[in-house]
């Protein structure tokens, strides 16, 4: 606190701040939710609601029909969400002040209909679901909610049970997305001490707008422990993000174990800041249980100085250490070994090969590489192309689809393998050019979706549109989606979640919900209150999401106040 003995400018500033704080404190009890808004995030594709309030039994039971009903993914998902929903209540009937012990609840069973028993998790897996929540009538024995995972359009009431007219089988991953929505409908009432669902009955028919909805996580600039990565994956599922792009290694450190070349992780910061192959497999399994892909990245030929800590022959010279030495077969043998080992861990069909920010001065200034370039009749740019295409061949031989940062497309689009997925980052306008040439594209415009840019406000994240400038429907279909990028120079365990959330949620709704629904004219009135609410939901679930509207992302609160107004 500034003393009043300082100059008048500081006195005035202090008084203004004091009045502002006093106003906030005086108005702290006046916050109300806007009942005209739907507080589900991301916003479902189609939904209707009513005006009833239903109670949910804390001993909520689970039943499933169809081939997918016995899925471990589904069963564990239900138990996981049950702990979230009933965090504040016990598993016994609660005391009702007006009627004594309560024994009848409106919702006592959550019923799943999952016709497919496939648990294959690949790009474009069907994540659609239909959720119906209604109060039991007088003829019904129990109340129930149904998550129907096979694109039904009608429910028939037969023998007091909800049954579905099936049209097309769906997956357990759609059921997980429906579970998340159901959990957001459930709210604990602190006065009655009951879990309630407001605005029932609900009918929700939902599916994602884009197949690829990602978050990139950088574990090279700062090592992140396994438990932290799991926490981030868990939080991704709350916003229905479905791809963790794991930027495991970079020039600063090489923390991953590679059995074929065990000295590579000599490039880790310390012997304690490493990932074993078992660690990586555990992360992949943990993510799959939540319907989340892991897309690994090995960035070549630049951003690779750390590789030489174990294998110095990869450096052009001891004083000029990247890009990787393009002239040696050993370089590509080692890349082949890395990808072969990683293929045993990462089943996702996409693999990121980087290819960005390749500065070729070391190639042209190192005598043996300069001689090799002359012998091959190559310029440094030719060698860059040669390296990228050779790395792509290795990835494709491992049955991977290569993803490359946009510099590769900007430099030699006609030479790239036609299977290449172009990953935009430098700015807008790249995806329109890429899809026009038949390439698929991932949108990550750094001006809006780089989370380490702390001065980008939530509304700019929300307004960024992956299909901007693409009007042809067939070309729009080549945009897989997008991802927000959490580069790690200034983010570690202490602040990574605060930096990711809630701005990542803004992109998540853009990628899931219909374009018309997320392009309202005044998003301050229609979207911001909902984002405040979702941020508080993340906080309640233990996610360290920062205030929504502070000038800089991850900045802590500057005054006292409600979570819903920060």
CATH number of the domain that 449 lies in?
A: 3.20.20.80
Angle at 492 between CA 490 and CA 493, to 5 degrees: 155
CA 242 to centroid of chain Cα atoms: 6
Judge whether 141 lies within some domain. Answer: no
The pLDDT score that the predictor gives to residue 27 is 42
Mark whether 308 and 180 lie in a shared domain.
no
pLDDT score of 142: 42
Contact 385, 411 (CB under 8 A): yes
Residues 198 and 291 in one domain: no
Q: Which of 455, 457, 463 is nearest to 507 (CA)?
A: 463
What pLDDT, on the 0 to 100 scale, is given for residue 144? 58
Domain presence at residue 15: no
Q: Which of 357, 393, 398, 489 is catalytic?
A: 357
Residue 361 sits in the same domain as residue 307: yes
Same domain, 476 and 536: yes
- Do 444 and 332 reside in the same domain of the chain? yes
Domain check: are 193 and 237 in the same one? no
Q: Is there a catalytic annotation at residue 357?
A: yes
The predicted structure's pLDDT at residue 62: 86
Q: Does residue 254 share a domain with residue 198?
A: no
CA angle 175, 177, 179 (to 5 degrees): 70
Q: In what order do the strands lie in the sheet with 144-148?
A: 46-48, 202-206, 129-134, 144-148, 107-113, 52-65, 194-200, 186-189
Q: Is residue 9 part of a domain?
A: no
Q: How far apart are CA 115 and CA 153, in angstroms?
A: 15
2 within some domain: no
Greatest Cα pair distance in the chain: 91
pLDDT at residue 90 in the model: 64
In DSSP terms, 144 is beta-bridged to 109, 134
How many domains does the chain fold into? Answer: 2
**310 and 422 share one domain:** yes
Q: What is the pLDDT of residues 162-212, one digit of tens each?
A: 332 222 337 999 999 999 999 999 999 999 999 999 999 999 999 999 999
Q: Check: CB of residue 449 under 8 Å from CB of residue 427.
A: no
User: Are 458 and 438 in the same domain?
Assistant: yes
User: pTM of the prediction?
Assistant: 0.91
Host H or E run for residue 387: helix 380-397
pLDDT in tens, the chain (566 residues): 333 334 444 333 333 333 333 434 444 445 688 999 999 999 999 999 999 999 999 999 888 888 888 899 999 999 999 999 999 886 454 444 444 455 589 888 888 888 899 999 999 999 999 998 887 654 433 445 666 654 333 333 333 333 322 223 379 999 999 999 999 999 999 999 999 999 999 999 999 999 999 999 999 999 999 999 999 999 999 999 999 999 999 999 999 999 999 999 999 999 999 999 999 999 999 999 999 999 999 999 999 999 999 999 999 999 999 999 999 999 999 999 999 999 999 999 999 999 999 999 999 999 999 999 999 999 999 999 999 999 999 999 999 999 999 999 999 999 999 999 999 999 999 999 999 999 999 999 999 999 999 999 999 999 999 999 999 999 999 999 999 999 999 999 999 999 999 999 999 999 999 999 888 779 999 999 999 999 999 999 999 999 999 999 999 999 999 999 88
Q: Is residue 110 part of a domain?
A: yes
- CA quadruple 11, 16, 17, 23: dihedral sign: positive
Residues 327 and 345 in one domain: yes
Helix (H, G, I), strand (E, B) or coil at 407: helix
The alpha helices in 277-355, defined as continuous H runs, are 277-288, 329-343
Chain centroid offset of residue 93 CA: 37
Residues 403 and 384 in one domain: yes
Domain residue limits at 275: 212-541
pLDDT at 167: 22
* Any domain includes 11: no
**Is 150 among the domain residues?**
no
Residue 227 belongs to some domain of the structure: yes
Q: Of 149, 176, 206, which residue constitutes the final position of a domain?
A: 206
For residues 222 and 300, state if they share a domain: yes
Spatial CB neighbours of 397, under 8 Å, sequence gap ≥ 6? none
- The CATH number covering residue 67 comes to 3.30.379.10
């Amino acid at each position: 606190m500034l003393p009043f003995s300082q100059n008048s400018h500081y006195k005035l500033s202090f008084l203004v701040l004091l009045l502002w704080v006093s106003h906030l404190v005086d108005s702290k009890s006046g916050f109300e939710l806007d009942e005209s808004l739907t507080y589900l995030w991301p916003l479902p594709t189609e939904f209707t609601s009513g005006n009833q309030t239903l109670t949910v039994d804390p001993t909520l039971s689970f039943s499933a029909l169809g081939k997918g009903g016995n899925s471990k993914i589904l069963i564990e998902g239900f138990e996981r969400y049950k702990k979230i929903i009933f965090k504040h209540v016990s598993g016994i009937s609660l005391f009702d002040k007006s009627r004594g012990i309560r024994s009848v609840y409106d919702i006592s069973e959550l019923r799943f209909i999952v016709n497919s028993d496939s648990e294959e998790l690949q790009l474009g897996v069907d994540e659609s679901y239909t959720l119906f929540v209604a109060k039991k009538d007088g003829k019904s024995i129990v109340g129930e909610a149904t998550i129907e995972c096979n694109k039904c359009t009608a429910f028939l009431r037969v023998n007091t049970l909800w049954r579905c007219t099936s049209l097309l089988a769906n997956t357990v991953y759609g059921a997980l997305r429906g579970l998340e929505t159901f959990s957001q409908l459930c709210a604990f009432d602190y006065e009655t001490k009951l879990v309630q669902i407001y605005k029932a009955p609900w009918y929700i028919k939902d599916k994602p707008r884009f197949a690829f909805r990602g978050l990139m996580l950088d574990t090279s600039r700062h090592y992140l422990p396994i438990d932290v990565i799991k926490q981030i994956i868990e939080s991704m599922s709350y916003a229905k993000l479905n791809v963790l792009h794991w930027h495991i290694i970079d020039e600063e450190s090489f923390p991953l174990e590679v059995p074929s070349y065990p000295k590579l992780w000599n490039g880790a910061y310390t012997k304690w800041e490493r990932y074993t192959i078992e660690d990586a497999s555990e992360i992949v399994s943990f993510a799959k249980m939540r319907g989340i892909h892991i897309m690994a990245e090995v960035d070549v030929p630049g951003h690779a100085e750390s590789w030489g800590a174990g294998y110095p022959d990869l450096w052009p010279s001891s004083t000029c250490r990247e890009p990787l030495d393009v002239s040696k077969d050993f370089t590509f043998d080692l890349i082949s070994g890395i990808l072969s080992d990683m293929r045993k861990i990462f089943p996702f069909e996409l693999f990121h090969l980087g290819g960005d920010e390749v500065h070729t001065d070391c190639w042209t200034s190192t005598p043996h590489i300069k001689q090799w370039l002359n012998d091959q009749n190559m310029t440094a740019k030719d060698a860059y192309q040669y390296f990228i295409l050779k790395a792509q061949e290795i990835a494709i031989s491992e049955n991977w689809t290569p993803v490359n940062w946009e510099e590769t497309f900007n430099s030699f689009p006609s030479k790239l393998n036609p299977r290449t997925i172009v990953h935009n980052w430098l700015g807008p306008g790249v995806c329109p050019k890429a899809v026009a040439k038949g390439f698929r594209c991932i949108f990550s415009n750094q001006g809006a979706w780089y989370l380490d840019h702390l001065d980008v406000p939530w509304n700019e994240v929300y307004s960024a549109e992956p299909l901007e400038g693409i009007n042809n429907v067939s070309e729009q279909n080549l945009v897989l989606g997008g991802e927000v990028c959490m580069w790690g120079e200034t983010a570690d365990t202490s602040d990574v979640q605060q930096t990711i959330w809630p701005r990542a949620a803004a992109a998540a709704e853009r990628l899931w919900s219909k374009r018309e629904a997320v392009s309202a004219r005044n998003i301050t009135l229609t979207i911001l209150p909902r984002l405040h609410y979702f941020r508080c939901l993340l906080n309640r679930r233990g996610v360290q999401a920062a205030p929504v509207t502070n000038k800089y992302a991850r900045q802590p609160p500057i005054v006292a106040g409600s979570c819903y107004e920060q």
